[in-house]
């Protein structure tokens, strides 16, 4: 499906691709297009720093934004810039580095009527050295079920019990600590242990097959 973009100023017609922010300009970005012309580059850089810190996972305190307030720059407008720029950067970071090229990103910024002086700073966030950290943070914050943090195990051989004089059966006990904090202790009979091992090996093999196949079919 090709989308021919018609912009308000009619400056240019984009080729057959959707811009990085989607088919429509998000409302948060629309609202900063006018005020951004009056933004100081220093203040812009400071806001950008805060945004990058939040994308890497650090909390941004209210005071940090309050500090940037000046006579001309009220809190309202500051918050507007913060939101608009965060949305812009987040939509750019959604795409992997290989599918969104720098030139395309810059073209889209021009489309959005972001002043040229800000282009370099924005490009350095999306394509620069901080990118891997941002990516690994978004990877970690995926919604997931409980993960296995720690596995403790022991192998016992029961020699004798109260009901049986000679048992000589091995058994495995496991203590799993999960990422949600719960600790599960249970015993694994030998037959079930073999079944568990078989299933895990099978899943591993399927995963590897899947990775080999999908790389060929689903292109970036």
Partner 1 sequence: MAAFMFTVTPSIQKAVSLINNIEKSKISLLLTRILSKLYIVESRPFTDEEEEKLQGALGVSSEELELVLQTLEFFVQQAAYHSAKPQVLSTQLKELQIDDDKVDCIAEVWTNGAYGVINRLKSKGLACKKLEDINWRLNLQLAQSTKVKLKAPNTLLELALKSDDDESKERIRLDFSHEELYQFYQQLETIQQQLDTLFK
Query: Which part of the chain contacts partner 1 (CB under 8 A), choosing from 3-11, 72-80, 119-127, 136-144?
Result: 136-144
DSSP H stretches of helix in 25-184: 27-33, 41-55, 62-67, 75-94, 102-111, 119-127, 131-140
Residue 110 Cβ, how far from partner 1 at the closest point, in Å? 22
202, two tokens? 């099978």
Residue 84 Cβ, how far from partner 1 at the closest point, in Å? 18
* Closest listed residue to residue 113, CA positions, set 37, 199, 210: 37
- Integer angstrom CA distances of residue 1 from 17, 23, 31: 9, 12, 28
d(CA 119, CA 12): 18
99, 101, 136, 175: which one binds partner 1 (CB under 8 A) = 99
- Which lies closer to partner 1 via its Cβ, residue 71 or residue 214? 214
146, 159, 175, 181: which one binds partner 1 (CB under 8 A) = 146
- Which lies closer to partner 1 via its Cβ, residue 3 or residue 203? 203
2, 9, 71, 141: which one binds partner 1 (CB under 8 A) = 141
96 lies in the site for partner 1, by CB under 8 A: yes
CB environment 176-191: b (16+ within 10 A), e (fewer): beeeeeeeeeeebeee
* Closest listed residue to residue 110, CA positions, set 188, 216, 14, 214: 14
- Which lies closer to partner 1 via its Cβ, residue 62 or residue 145? 145
3 lies in the site for partner 1, by CB under 8 A: no
* Closest listed residue to residue 84, CA positions, set 136, 134, 25: 25
8 Å CB contact between 166 and 145: no
DSSP of 183-214: EEEEEEEHHHHHHHHHHHHHHHHHHHHHHHHH
Residue 143 Cβ, how far from partner 1 at the closest point, in Å? 7
145, 159, 181, 216: which one binds partner 1 (CB under 8 A) = 145
Give me the 148-177 binding string for partner 1, x by CB under 8 A, dash otherwise.
x--x-x-x-xx--x-xxxxx-xxxxx--x-
Residues that bind partner 1 (CB under 8 A): 90, 93-96, 99, 135, 138-139, 141-148, 151, 153, 155, 157-158, 161, 163-167, 169-173, 176, 178, 184-190, 192-193, 195-197, 199-201, 203-204, 206-207, 210-211, 214-215, 218, 220
């Amino acid at each position: 499906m090709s989308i021919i973009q018609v912009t308000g100023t009619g400056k240019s017609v984009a080729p057959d691709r959707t811009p990085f922010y989607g088919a429509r300009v998000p409302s948060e970005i629309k609202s900063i297009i006018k005020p951004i012309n009056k933004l100081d580059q220093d203040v812009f850089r400071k806001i950008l720093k805060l945004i990058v810190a939040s994308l890497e996972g650090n909390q941004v305190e209210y005071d940090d934004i309050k500090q940037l307030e000046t006579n001309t720059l009220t809190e309202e407008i500051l918050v507007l810039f913060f939101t608009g720029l965060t949305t812009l950067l987040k939509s750019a970071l959604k795409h992997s580095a290989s599918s969104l090229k720098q030139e395309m990103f810059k073209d889209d910024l021009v489309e959005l009527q972001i002043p040229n002086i800000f282009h370099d700073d924005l490009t350095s966030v999306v394509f620069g050295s901080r990118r891997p950290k941002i990516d690994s943070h978004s990877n970690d914050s995926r919604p997931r079920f409980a993960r296995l943090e720690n596995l403790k195990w022991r192998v016992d051989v029961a020699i004798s019990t109260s009901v049986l004089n000679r048992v000589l059966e091995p058994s495995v006990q496991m203590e799993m600590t999960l990422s949600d904090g719960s600790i599960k202790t249970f015993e694994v009979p030998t037959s079930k242990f073999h079944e568990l091992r078989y299933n895990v090996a099978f899943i591993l093999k399927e995963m590897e097959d899947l990775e080999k196949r999908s790389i060929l079919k689903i292109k970036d």
